[in-house]
Amino acid sequence: MNPSALPPVTAFPGTIVQARIDSAAITDNARAIAARIAPATLLSVVKADAYGHGLATAVHACRAAGVVDFGVATVPEALQLVALLGDDPDLRAERILCWLYDAAADLSGCARAGVELGVSTAGALDQVVRAAQTAGRAVRIHLKVDTGLGRNGFTPPDLTAFLPELARTAERAPGAVEVVGLMTHFANADAVGDPATDEQLAVLDTARSALVRTLEATGGALGDPAALLVHAANSPAALSLDPVPGDLARVGLSTYGLSPFAGTTAAELGLRPAMRLVSRVLAVKEVPAGHGASYGLTYRCAAPTRFALVAGGYADGIPRAASNRAEVAIGGVRYPVVGKIAMDQMILDLGPGGDGAAPVAAGDEVVIIGDGVTGPSAEEWAAWSDTVNYEIVTRIGARVARVVCDES
């Protein structure tokens, strides 16, 4: 058969592992965050398929909370969001902001769709100008300043050198760009009280003053200096700083009910985790003392016990680094994951059967990731894997079905 004649594969029907997404939790979280950051405006970050929660689900849930500004990292994500929003007045966004692209990126689609673009280098400005000329319309841009994180953005000396070039754009490409924002990203806002955050804000304020002077000098040809949007706050800054600095807060993680602070739970922040990762028991069997579990036999049971085989492995996004450390829940009881987590499955040690032992059978539901009560939290999985909860949810694989529910 000609490969081009094969039907497209868009899902994996019948997958055992499911990510159940509570859309009402996303809506409630977005409302709570928006109220907390006021008068700043919430820009919901929906990059990486809404942190693994599903773009369409997250956007609908955020719109239900009144959110009209969205942010993504990449150009394909921006265009996917444009297509999702379409012309539906109930979904239409006021702002889609995209900030991560390279010199080879074609920005013309973003320009035609009205996507706002972050500009971090002089070369990026040239790209945006070309895209605007191709699209026949102005592109709204946000200059990004590196105030200390060391990632994308103009360093203060680079910005000083760039601003005269920006001013010349008004003459060499009139009407091509409109500067609407100035942005940065905090390096350590999750360490509440760290002086580095105040230092970054001071650098940002100096950059704002310089940019405002440039816009004023061009007579508004590059944008209204009085309407310039300044934004820096991410999830930890939005939930800890008072007042929240700037006009917008770009919040991703906490919209999905996850805590950005070590030692602080989502519940303590008034948030509700939106993702519950569940699977099923495939088989239960009795094994003698000394029996090994999984590749490498890194675990051998000390006494006769029961092993349960559970669908779900690192191909589904369950971190192999959590092997011999993680737990999952069945019927409200936690059991250790023993041996190495494999590509598609893992083994639990249920303990010996008999009187008083919790009954576990094939087909029972297994909560791999819950809210810390229904099952281990994403934060617990992060600790077991020596990583952060951001990675735990965003790494959930494409073959895991996202099932939307409303558990309000």
Residues forming the active site: 47, 295
* Cα dist from 160 to 39, 140, 208, 210, whole Å: 30, 21, 11, 8
Which residues, in sequence order, are bridge partners of residue 43? 69, 250
Give residues with Cβ within 8 angstroms of 97, minimum separation 6: 43, 69, 70, 71, 72, 115, 116, 117, 118, 142, 181, 250
* Cα dist from 104 to 47, 72, 97, 123, 124, whole Å: 20, 18, 19, 11, 10
Using CA atoms, how far apart are residues 111 and 88, in angstroms rounded to an integer? 20
336-354 b/e (C-beta count within 10 Å ≥ 16 → b): ebbbbbbeebbbbbbbeee
Using CA atoms, how far apart are residues 381 and 100, in angstroms rounded to an integer? 28
β-pairing, 139-144 vs 177-183, is parallel
Which residues, in sequence order, are bridge partners of residue 277? 19, 369
Lookup result for tokens 């965003």: 394
- SS3 of residue 161 by DSSP: helix
Do the Cβ atoms of 256 and 53 come closer than 8 Å?
A: yes
Torsion angles phi and psi, residue 277, rounded to 5: -95, 120
One DSSP character per residue, 55-74 reads HHHHHHHHHHTT--EEEEEE
